[in-house]
Chain A
Amino acid sequence: GAVVSQHPSRVICKSGTSVKIECRSLDFQATTMFWYRQFPKKSLMLMATSNEGSKATYEQGVEKDKFLINHASLTLSTLTVTSAHPEDSSFYICSGRLAGEIDTQYFGPGTRLTVL
Protein backbone atom coordinates (compact mmCIF):
# COMPACT_ATOMS: atom_id res chain seq x y z
CA GLY A 1 0.00 0.00 0.00
CA ALA A 2 0.84 3.74 -0.12
CA VAL A 3 2.28 3.73 -3.63
CA VAL A 4 3.16 6.95 -5.41
CA SER A 5 3.97 7.15 -9.10
CA GLN A 6 5.54 9.88 -11.18
CA HIS A 7 5.43 10.53 -14.88
CA PRO A 8 7.60 10.87 -16.80
CA SER A 9 10.55 9.16 -15.16
CA ARG A 10 12.96 11.01 -17.42
CA VAL A 11 12.56 14.05 -19.63
CA ILE A 12 14.94 16.01 -21.78
CA CYS A 13 13.85 19.38 -23.05
CA LYS A 14 15.23 22.44 -24.73
CA SER A 15 15.94 25.60 -22.84
CA GLY A 16 12.91 27.89 -22.76
CA THR A 17 10.29 25.17 -22.95
CA SER A 18 7.94 24.08 -20.17
CA VAL A 19 7.77 20.62 -18.67
CA LYS A 20 4.97 19.07 -16.66
CA ILE A 21 5.59 16.31 -14.12
CA GLU A 22 2.72 14.29 -12.70
CA CYS A 23 2.56 12.77 -9.25
CA ARG A 24 -0.14 10.24 -8.48
CA SER A 25 -1.08 8.39 -5.32
CA LEU A 26 -2.19 5.02 -6.65
CA ASP A 27 -3.84 3.34 -3.71
CA PHE A 28 -4.57 6.10 -1.25
CA GLN A 29 -5.91 9.60 -1.10
CA ALA A 30 -3.28 12.23 -0.49
CA THR A 31 -4.69 15.41 0.93
CA THR A 32 -1.20 16.81 0.96
CA MET A 33 1.58 16.28 -1.53
CA PHE A 34 5.10 17.60 -1.40
CA TRP A 35 7.58 18.43 -4.13
CA TYR A 36 11.31 18.11 -3.63
CA ARG A 37 14.33 18.53 -5.80
CA GLN A 38 17.57 16.72 -5.34
CA PHE A 39 20.99 17.45 -6.82
CA PRO A 40 23.53 14.65 -7.33
CA LYS A 41 24.89 13.27 -4.08
CA LYS A 42 22.84 15.79 -2.13
CA SER A 43 19.87 15.64 0.15
CA LEU A 44 16.25 16.38 -0.66
CA MET A 45 15.21 20.01 -0.63
CA LEU A 46 11.55 20.78 -0.12
CA MET A 47 10.20 23.07 -2.81
CA ALA A 48 6.54 23.32 -1.94
CA THR A 49 3.64 21.81 -0.07
CA SER A 50 0.49 21.20 -2.04
CA ASN A 51 -2.93 20.77 -0.50
CA GLU A 52 -5.80 19.49 -2.56
CA GLY A 53 -8.02 22.27 -3.78
CA SER A 54 -5.88 25.14 -2.54
CA LYS A 55 -2.77 27.04 -3.54
CA ALA A 56 0.59 25.53 -2.87
CA THR A 57 2.86 26.86 -0.17
CA TYR A 58 6.35 27.47 -1.49
CA GLU A 59 9.56 27.35 0.45
CA GLN A 60 11.70 30.42 0.71
CA GLY A 61 13.71 30.98 -2.44
CA VAL A 62 11.47 28.88 -4.69
CA GLU A 63 9.86 30.89 -7.47
CA LYS A 64 6.17 30.11 -7.59
CA ASP A 65 5.81 31.50 -11.10
CA LYS A 66 8.55 29.23 -12.35
CA PHE A 67 7.46 26.08 -10.57
CA LEU A 68 3.70 25.89 -10.99
CA ILE A 69 1.97 23.37 -8.78
CA ASN A 70 -1.57 22.14 -9.17
CA HIS A 71 -3.28 19.68 -6.84
CA ALA A 72 -6.67 19.29 -8.43
CA SER A 73 -7.64 15.96 -6.90
CA LEU A 74 -6.82 13.75 -3.95
CA THR A 75 -4.68 11.53 -6.15
CA LEU A 76 -2.95 13.90 -8.54
CA SER A 77 -0.55 16.79 -8.22
CA THR A 78 1.42 18.32 -11.07
CA LEU A 79 4.59 20.37 -11.16
CA THR A 80 5.23 22.48 -14.24
CA VAL A 81 8.69 23.89 -14.74
CA THR A 82 8.13 26.94 -16.91
CA SER A 83 10.72 28.37 -19.27
CA ALA A 84 13.20 25.76 -18.19
CA HIS A 85 16.91 26.52 -18.13
CA PRO A 86 19.90 24.22 -17.70
CA GLU A 87 20.16 25.14 -14.02
CA ASP A 88 16.70 23.61 -13.54
CA SER A 89 18.14 20.22 -14.42
CA SER A 90 17.64 18.08 -11.38
CA PHE A 91 15.89 15.08 -9.88
CA TYR A 92 12.35 16.03 -8.86
CA ILE A 93 10.60 13.86 -6.31
CA CYS A 94 7.06 14.07 -4.98
CA SER A 95 5.55 12.54 -1.89
CA GLY A 96 2.07 12.05 -0.58
CA ARG A 97 0.73 12.05 2.91
CA LEU A 98 -2.17 9.77 3.72
CA ALA A 99 -5.36 11.45 4.75
CA GLY A 100 -5.68 10.80 8.45
CA GLU A 101 -1.97 10.20 8.98
CA ILE A 102 -0.21 13.23 10.26
CA ASP A 103 3.40 12.60 9.57
CA THR A 104 4.46 9.82 7.24
CA GLN A 105 5.25 10.70 3.64
CA TYR A 106 5.44 8.17 0.85
CA PHE A 107 7.67 9.06 -2.04
CA GLY A 108 7.42 8.63 -5.77
CA PRO A 109 10.28 7.23 -7.87
CA GLY A 110 11.40 10.66 -9.04
CA THR A 111 11.70 12.41 -12.40
CA ARG A 112 15.05 13.19 -13.93
CA LEU A 113 14.85 16.52 -15.80
CA THR A 114 17.61 17.51 -18.16
CA VAL A 115 17.43 20.89 -19.81
CA LEU A 116 19.68 21.36 -22.82
Chain B
Amino acid sequence: GESVGLHLPTLSVQEGDNSIINCAYSNSASDYFIWYKQESGKGPQFIIDIRSNMDKRQGQRVTVLLNKTVKHLSLQIAATQPGDSAVYFCAEKTGTSGSRLTFGEGTQLTVNP
Protein backbone atom coordinates (compact mmCIF):
# COMPACT_ATOMS: atom_id res chain seq x y z
CA GLY B 1 0.00 0.00 0.00
CA GLU B 2 0.92 3.59 -0.15
CA SER B 3 2.46 5.19 2.89
CA VAL B 4 4.30 8.14 4.21
CA GLY B 5 7.85 7.59 5.34
CA LEU B 6 10.75 9.50 6.72
CA HIS B 7 14.30 9.43 5.48
CA LEU B 8 16.02 9.53 8.87
CA PRO B 9 14.76 7.96 12.08
CA THR B 10 16.98 10.17 14.26
CA LEU B 11 18.50 13.60 13.93
CA SER B 12 20.89 15.22 16.36
CA VAL B 13 21.75 18.91 16.12
CA GLN B 14 23.46 21.58 18.18
CA GLU B 15 21.42 24.28 19.81
CA GLY B 16 21.16 27.25 17.50
CA ASP B 17 21.61 25.24 14.32
CA ASN B 18 18.91 24.83 11.74
CA SER B 19 17.20 21.44 11.50
CA ILE B 20 15.73 19.80 8.44
CA ILE B 21 13.42 16.84 8.84
CA ASN B 22 12.41 15.01 5.69
CA CYS B 23 9.40 13.00 4.68
CA ALA B 24 8.68 10.98 1.55
CA TYR B 25 5.19 10.16 0.45
CA SER B 26 4.06 7.91 -2.34
CA ASN B 27 0.41 8.82 -2.86
CA SER B 28 0.24 11.38 -5.64
CA ALA B 29 -3.40 11.97 -4.77
CA SER B 30 -2.51 13.44 -1.37
CA ASP B 31 -3.63 17.04 -1.20
CA TYR B 32 -2.91 18.08 2.36
CA PHE B 33 0.07 17.58 4.63
CA ILE B 34 0.68 18.30 8.28
CA TRP B 35 3.68 18.24 10.54
CA TYR B 36 3.17 17.25 14.15
CA LYS B 37 5.52 17.36 17.11
CA GLN B 38 5.18 14.74 19.82
CA GLU B 39 6.98 14.96 23.12
CA SER B 40 7.45 11.87 25.22
CA GLY B 41 4.20 10.68 26.79
CA LYS B 42 2.11 13.36 25.13
CA GLY B 43 -0.19 13.65 22.18
CA PRO B 44 0.89 15.12 18.83
CA GLN B 45 0.96 18.88 18.62
CA PHE B 46 0.13 20.65 15.35
CA ILE B 47 3.09 22.58 13.95
CA ILE B 48 2.31 23.59 10.40
CA ASP B 49 0.36 22.41 7.39
CA ILE B 50 0.46 22.86 3.65
CA ARG B 51 -1.87 22.12 0.79
CA SER B 52 -0.81 20.59 -2.47
CA ASN B 53 -1.36 23.82 -4.39
CA MET B 54 1.53 25.39 -2.48
CA ASP B 55 5.22 24.56 -2.36
CA LYS B 56 6.25 26.54 0.69
CA ARG B 57 4.69 27.80 3.85
CA GLN B 58 6.30 29.60 6.74
CA GLY B 59 5.42 29.83 10.38
CA GLN B 60 7.25 31.03 13.41
CA ARG B 61 10.74 29.49 13.12
CA VAL B 62 9.36 26.72 10.95
CA THR B 63 9.06 26.31 7.21
CA VAL B 64 7.45 23.46 5.33
CA LEU B 65 8.51 22.72 1.77
CA LEU B 66 6.56 20.52 -0.58
CA ASN B 67 8.03 19.06 -3.75
CA LYS B 68 5.27 17.25 -5.56
CA THR B 69 7.52 16.21 -8.41
CA VAL B 70 9.52 13.89 -6.17
CA LYS B 71 6.81 13.50 -3.52
CA HIS B 72 8.93 14.99 -0.79
CA LEU B 73 8.03 17.08 2.23
CA SER B 74 10.41 18.74 4.62
CA LEU B 75 10.21 20.65 7.87
CA GLN B 76 12.85 23.25 8.56
CA ILE B 77 13.31 24.54 12.08
CA ALA B 78 15.40 27.67 12.44
CA ALA B 79 17.66 28.24 15.44
CA THR B 80 16.77 24.92 17.01
CA GLN B 81 16.28 25.00 20.76
CA PRO B 82 16.39 22.23 23.39
CA GLY B 83 12.62 22.53 23.66
CA ASP B 84 12.38 21.40 20.07
CA SER B 85 13.61 17.95 21.04
CA ALA B 86 10.77 15.57 20.22
CA VAL B 87 9.54 13.12 17.60
CA TYR B 88 8.28 14.79 14.46
CA PHE B 89 5.67 13.15 12.28
CA CYS B 90 4.46 14.10 8.87
CA ALA B 91 0.93 13.14 7.94
CA GLU B 92 -0.92 13.19 4.67
CA LYS B 93 -4.50 13.26 3.61
CA THR B 94 -5.81 12.18 0.27
CA GLY B 95 -8.88 13.64 -1.31
CA THR B 96 -10.56 10.27 -1.33
CA SER B 97 -9.86 9.34 2.29
CA GLY B 98 -12.21 11.79 3.91
CA SER B 99 -10.58 13.22 6.99
CA ARG B 100 -8.31 10.28 7.55
CA LEU B 101 -4.64 11.05 8.03
CA THR B 102 -1.81 8.66 7.29
CA PHE B 103 1.20 9.18 9.52
CA GLY B 104 4.83 8.63 8.71
CA GLU B 105 7.17 6.72 10.98
CA GLY B 106 8.55 9.74 12.79
CA THR B 107 11.97 11.32 13.30
CA GLN B 108 13.48 11.73 16.74
CA LEU B 109 15.08 15.17 16.93
CA THR B 110 17.62 15.68 19.69
CA VAL B 111 18.99 19.15 20.34
CA ASN B 112 22.29 19.23 22.16
CA PRO B 113 23.01 22.31 24.32
Contacts and interface: CB of A to CB of B under 8 A. Distances in A.
Given A46-B101, A49-B100, A104 B49 contact: yes
Contacts of A67: none
Contact of A109 (B43, B101, B105, B106): B43
Interface of A: 4, 6, 32, 34, 42-46, 49, 93, 95, 97, 102-110, 112
Contacts of A44: 44, 89, 103
A102 B106 contact: no
A34 B101 CA distance: 10
Interface of A, secondary structure class, is: strand
26 contacts: A6-B43, A34-B99, A42-B105, A43-B89, A43-B105, A43-B106, A45-B103, A49-B99, A93-B43, A95-B43, A102-B99, A103-B34, A103-B49, A103-B93, A103-B99, A104-B34, A104-B49, A106-B46, A107-B36, A107-B43, A107-B45, A109-B42, A109-B43, A110-B42, A110-B43, A112-B41
Contact of B46 (A32, A104, A112): A104
Contacts of B100: 34, 46, 49
A43 B105 CA distance: 5
A107 B44 contact: yes
Interface in B92-110: 93, 98-106
B89 to A, nearest CB: 6
Nearest to A112: B41
A112 B102 CA distance: 22
